[in-house]
Amino acid sequence: MLYTVAEFAPESDLSPARQSARFRAWLEQVERHFGEPEWVFVDPAAKHFRTQLFDDGLVTYPAHNAKDGGIQTLNALMAVDRIAVSDACSHLIEHVPGYLWDAKAAARGVDEPMKVDDDELDAWRYVVYSTRRFWRGQVSVAPAFDHAPGVRDGDEFADAA
């Protein structure tokens, strides 16, 4: 079983320096309750934030943000009841029901989520999919859900800082 026990949900208009300070303060609280995380994954599009974290002494890894593989992996985990979310993750819980599929993309035969209030779900997808090679031996899901087309294992660490 995979557990989502904490979430970081800052205001979106923070500078990278302020966001880094808030993230590191949040991470200290997480460490007190759950121990030091082995990895910190950050959205690969957040290059300035990753750079600031690195400058502040925190090594991060670019999250694997494959939509198809990540969504399929989350769906598979939920379908076999192998993922749980703590009630401490109120932003994630609040936004799960609002994760909507784009009707225009569906008309073209493409499964595409709407880009509305999706930060929490994207972050959840990124961390679950980025860590899959570490948990998939203990948490059973269909191997077909483990790979997005054109994605190789290990890609998530290709740009490590």
Q: How confident is the model at residue 153, as a pLDDT?
A: 54
Per-residue CA distances from 146 to 9, 15, 90 (Å)? 27, 35, 27
**Above 50 in pLDDT, residue 157?**
no
Tell me what pLDDT residue 11 has.
Answer: 80
Q: Assign residue 109 a region: left if phi > 0, alpha if psi is -120 to 50, beta otherwise?
A: left
Q: What is the pLDDT of residues 54-92, one digit of tens each?
A: 999 999 999 999 888 888 888 889 888 899 999 999 999
The H or E element spanning position 79 is helix 67-79
Whether residue 1 is predicted with pLDDT greater than 80 in this model: the reply is yes
Task: Please give the pLDDT value at position 10.
Answer: 82
Q: How confident is the model at residue 152 (pLDDT cuts 50, 70, 90)?
A: low
State the Cα–Cα distance between residues 63 and 140, nearest whole angstrom.
22
Cα distances from 71 to residues 22, 25, 74, 78, 113, in angstroms, run: 28, 30, 5, 11, 9
Summarised one tens digit per residue, pLDDT across range 4-20 is 999 998 887 899 999 99
Predicted confidence at residue 36, as pLDDT, reads 94
Average pLDDT over residues 134-157: 61
Give the span between the Cα atoms of 88 and 8, in whole angstroms.
11
Mean pLDDT of 45-62: 96
With a pLDDT cut of 70, the percent of the chain lying above it is 86
Q: Which residue has the tokens 């994630």?
A: 92
Give SS3 for 104.
helix
The whole-chain average pLDDT of the chain stands at 84
* Contact between residue 24 and residue 37 where contact means Cβ atoms under 8 Å apart: no
Q: Read off the pLDDT band of 145 (50, 70, 90).
A: very low
Confidence (pLDDT) at 69: 87
